[in-house]
Amino acid sequence: MDVVTMIERAGGLSTRAALVAATSRQEVDRALREGAVIRTGQGRYALPGVSEAARTAHGMNAILSLTSAALTHGWEVKTPPQKPHVLFPRKRNIPPLWRDRVIVHRGDLTIDEITMGATNRELTLTQCLRLLPYDEALVVADAALRHGEEAALRRAVASVHGRGETKAQRVGAAARGESANVFESVTRAICHTVPGLHVEPQVVISSSTCWARPDLVDLERRIVIECDSFEFHASREGFRKDVRRYTLLVADGWVVLRFTWEDVMFRPAWVRALLLRVVGADARTLVHGAWPFTAWGDGQAPTNVRVSTQGTRVS
């Protein structure tokens, strides 16, 4: 077995000792000289195509966790971390230089809880459900379902006890594999904080005059919420079809709301205030632990948003 094949079978990461044992010292040194493998730390190697986050964690003899692990598994996250989340054994001494490069977490894992240099899928979901704010946790849970990890999500929800348990159960119950992307998941998370609003993703609406499958739909209140991105309307034909669909929906008695990526991601209080106004809820009404999005569900209602019949103002 050559060096590249050996390290590929190990998930793209390996120690020098393991590579030498499977091949030879000369082959490992030649692969290193030719750039077929790269050194990530003392006696630790990776394939060039492995992510920088994974190389960083491997070089520190640690593993990726939380959203960094989610990205390793191919799941989308709300915001990729600026520094990788890295899990170290509880008693490991971490040099100050390493602390500046990563977000440090502590925990002792078994070999079965590690895959591809990261926490395995179930443990990654468990940590994200327990530790991330509601909207970020929902994004990861939706992504996991899109990738067929329904059983892993179910086990992860059941494994969370004590702190974070209530939020984990809420996320598990709300997660939908039908949610198409991060944009839709975050919008739906905001909707979950609006009393009386119950939306589902990708629901088909069909009548004698209109057929549509909007991003989010509240069937009872006849509310349609579209997550509009500039890229989606790159063609004139796509733009024309969307305008016609929205017009037909309104003519059929639906309320159509359209939000941009920037507003959902960076002005969530404004989006929520508009939803409250449309639903007719009091802006002071709060679903306990739902707003603002916090890791532990102890947030309070936003104080800078006022809703009135004259309009929505954000100060």
Question: Which region holds residue 74: left if phi is over 0, alpha if psi is between -120 and 50, else beta?
Answer: left
pLDDT of residue 230: 61
Is 80 exceeded by the pLDDT of residue 302? no
The Cα–Cα gap between 119 and 97 comes to 23
Banded pLDDT at 231 (limits 50, 70, 90):
low
At residue 146, the pLDDT reads 96
In angstroms and rounded to an integer, the radius of gyration of the C-alpha atoms of the chain is: 23
Distance from C-alpha of 229 to C-alpha of 237, rounded to nearest angstrom: 15
Give the span between the Cα atoms of 276 and 312, in whole angstroms. Answer: 10
pLDDT of residue 10: 79
pTM reported for the whole predicted model: 0.82
Would you say how long the chain is, in residues? Answer: 315
Q: What is the model's pLDDT at position 310?
A: 36
pLDDT of 290 reads 57
The average pLDDT across 307-315 equals 32
Residue 53 CB contacts under 8 Å (≥ 6 apart), including other chains: 64, 68, 71, 72, 84
Q: Which of 100-104, 184-188, 209-213, 270-274 has the lowest mean pLDDT?
A: 209-213
Task: Encode pLDDT of 103-130 as tens digits.
Answer: 999 999 999 999 989 999 999 999 999 9
pLDDT at 296: 39
Distance of CA 20 to the CA centre of its chain: 38
The segment with the largest mean pLDDT, out of 177-181, 229-233, 248-252, is 177-181
* 251 pLDDT tier (thresholds 50, 70, 90): confident
| Section 55-78 average pLDDT | 94
User: Chain-wide mean pLDDT for the chain?
Assistant: 86
289 has a pLDDT exceeding 50: no
Q: Is 190 left (phi over 0), alpha (psi -120 to 50) or beta?
A: alpha
